[in-house]
Amino acid sequence: MKIDNALYNLIANLLLQFVTAAVGIILPRLIIEAYGSNMNGMISSINQFLRYLSLVEAGLGAASIAALYKPLAASNIGEVNAVLSASRLFYRRAGIIFAVLVVGCAVCYPFLVHGQVPVITSSVMVLILAGSGLVEYFIIGKYRVLLMADQKSYVISLIQTIGVILNAVVSVVLIMSGFDVLITQTAATLIFVSRVLLVKWYVRREYKEVNYRAVPNHKALDRRWDAFIHQLNTLIVYAAPVVIITICCSLSEVSVYAVYNMVFVAVNMFVSAFSNGLMASFGHVIASGERGSLLRQFGAYEYMYYAVLTAAYACAAILILPFLRLYTSGIHDAVYIRPELAALFIVVGIVSNVRLPHYTLIQAAGHFRETKYPSIVESIINLAVSIILVQWFGMIGVMLGSICSHLYRTPELIRYTSKHILEHSAKQTIVRIIRLVILSAIAITPFLFVFVPEPASVMNWLLWAIIAGTVVLFIIVIGNVLLEPETARQVWKQVNRAIKKLKQRKGKGQLDHDQTS
């Protein structure tokens, strides 16, 4: 495992998640104020429908990345080119299908929201928001798989961070200047898709031997249909709520869901940043057959990840409702303050994120075919329970459907990876999960029943966030160190080793610069 690349990936991912979360919090409020809850609900709804259309990728990205691990580790440039050439052809084909489906969606979507927004607005909005997806299929996709497989996802993250910032600046300026929502979204999309220039420039500069027009190896991507099942499951489980609420409830309810989801997407982004940058690293370790190294590194990673997950969701439980009271103050076209909804979002977030380290292993090992049937069962549970319960409980019923599906799939994933990839008992993971629940309860109880945050301003909320975060972090760090001291020492050693390595590279770079000067 390249420790420096893993650290770069982690830092770049954290930066991207922080910027995306901040923008994701700022823009919806401005959109609701300027255009209303229905318009915000429509934008959220269309984005989820476009995620479903992205199924035309059919697991191509995940399969391509998994297929590249071994030839990259062996420096087999011929096989790398063969896989990338096949990826380019499949991405182009997927892009054509995606474009056709987008046109169909633009025609049909207005019928779902008839009477809530103008027909022409909803139809054109579909075409505008689909712009970034088209660029992904026709241009960026084939470059992204190479960078991610070669442990350089930090390049994609940094370029995407620049795109998100520019997108946000343009959107804020246009919204506050009173421009129509279609003009605002068009300008923002054009700015965001321009990141393709940077990605293309970097790959051509750093990978001079790569040839996307070599003889393609289509067989290397045979597992894409198994990866597709996982991709479909992810979309059903995470995107179905908005679609079901759009059809069975209203756009204002979609807006309420989107506001809560916005907060927890930010939390999940922060938590998942610790996985996104490490998948390629685990892929290389698995490809090299270093089982002892895999066990040590995964154990340390899971230990650190669960500590981050515990801290993030404990803080969310304390601060979510005070934040939303401030965020939605003055907005009266929908009921946004719903404690029961906040509690369900927290449960869904914890149960779904507990499995992330193990799902990262499945992706890194390319075990898509072996795990596709439990994935299908999870989707069936989610859809069946959500569609039945939404009739009586509305949005709450949809959340209960998510909880039921996660309660099935999370234990199944942990069982599979422990037995077939790590070849190790799942006892350690179970103990860590129990510790997560206990430490969370200890951390949040005083703030829910004794020192209840009631901030009157954003600065006051930030003060409460600092206090709560400090207390939560103290309890979780002390609890984890006392209850698992050996792993704590191992994590500390790995962090120190990575920092020293970065300092050495920096010192060498400065020496080379001085010598050339």
User: How many H helices and E strands in the chain?
Assistant: 21, 0
Residue 283 has pLDDT above 60, yes or no: no
In angstroms and rounded to an integer, the radius of gyration of the C-alpha atoms of the chain is 23
The pLDDT of residue 403 is 92
Q: What is the pLDDT of residues 94-121, one digit of tens each?
A: 788 888 888 888 888 888 777 777 888 8
Query: For residue 508, is pLDDT > 60?
Result: no
Percent of the chain residues topping a pLDDT of 70: 86
Question: What integer pLDDT is reported at residue 484 of this predicted model?
Answer: 85
pLDDT average, residue stretch 458-482:
90
Give 20 or 438, the one with higher predicted confidence: 438
Contact predicate 277/304, CB 8 Å: no
Cα–Cα distance measured from residue 149 to residue 347, given in angstroms and rounded to the nearest whole number: 33
Who's near 210: CB < 8 A, 6+ residues apart?
77, 80, 81, 84, 146, 203
CA angle 26, 30, 32 (to 5 degrees): 120
Task: Grade residue 282 by pLDDT with cuts at 50, 70 and 90.
Answer: low
Interval 291-313: pLDDT, tens: 677 777 787 888 888 888 999 89
3-state DSSP helix/strand/coil percent for the chain, to nearest 5? Answer: 85, 0, 15
pLDDT by residue (tens digit) across 124-175?
888 888 887 777 777 777 788 788 788 787 888 888 888 888 888 888 899 8
List Cβ neighbours of 433 (8 Å cut-off, separation of 6 or more): 306, 354
d(C-alpha 473, C-alpha 313), whole Å: 11
Whole-number Å distance between alpha carbons of 397 and 244 = 10
**How far is Cα 322 from Cα 132, in angstroms, rounded to an integer?**
34
Average confidence (pLDDT) over 263-269: 80
Across the range 267-283, mean pLDDT stands at 64
Say if residue 517's pLDDT is above 50: no
Residue 514 pLDDT greater than 60, yes or no: no
Q: In this predicted structure, which of 36-50, 216-230, 375-389, 475-489 has the lowest mean pLDDT?
A: 216-230
- From first CA to last CA, the distance across the chain in angstroms is 34
pLDDT score of 510 more than 60: no
Dist. CA 137–CA 373, nearest whole Å: 27
| CA dihedral of residues 18, 24, 25, 29 (deg, nearest 10) | 160
Q: What is the pLDDT of residue 346?
A: 92
Model confidence band, residue 407 (pLDDT cutoffs 50, 70, 90) = very high
DSSP string, 222-264: TTHHHHHHHHHHHHHHHHHHHHHHHHHS-HHHHHHHHHHHHHH
Global pTM exceeds 0.75: no
Please tell me the predicted confidence (pLDDT) of residue 504: 61
- pLDDT tens figures, 330-367: 777 777 888 899 999 999 989 988 988 888 788 777 77
88, with CB counted inside 10 A (0-12, 13-18, 19+), is buried
Pick the closest to residue 358 from 420, 308, 296, 403 (CA basis).
420
Q: What is the pLDDT of residue 19?
A: 85
pLDDT at 58 over 70: no
Whether residue 261 has pLDDT greater than 60: yes
Q: How far apart are CA 475 and CA 463, in angstroms?
A: 19
Q: What is the mean pLDDT of the chain?
A: 80
Q: Please spell the DSSP secondary structure of 96-138, one letter per residue.
A: HHHHHHHHHHHHHHHHHTTTTS-HHHHHHHHHHHTHHHHHIII
Write down the pLDDT at residue 24: 80
Q: Is 46 within 8 Å of 255 (Cβ atoms)?
A: no
pLDDT band of residue 27 (cuts 50, 70, 90) is confident
* pLDDT at residue number 347: 92
What mean pLDDT do residues 401-416 have? 91
| CA separation for the pair 317, 471 (Å, rounded) | 14
3-state secondary structure of 370: coil
| pLDDT (0 to 100) of residue 471 | 92
- Look at residues 186, 90, 103, 102 and name the one whose alpha carbon lies nearest to residue 138: 90
Is there a contact between 244 and 90 (Cβ–Cβ < 8 Å)? no
Any idea where the domains of the chain sit in the sequence?
A: 3-483
65: which 2 tokens? Answer: 């990345």
AA letter at 250: S
User: What one-character DSSP code corresponds to residue 369?
Assistant: T
Asked whether residue 82 carries a pLDDT value surpassing 70, the answer given is: yes
Higher-confidence residue: 378 or 138?
378
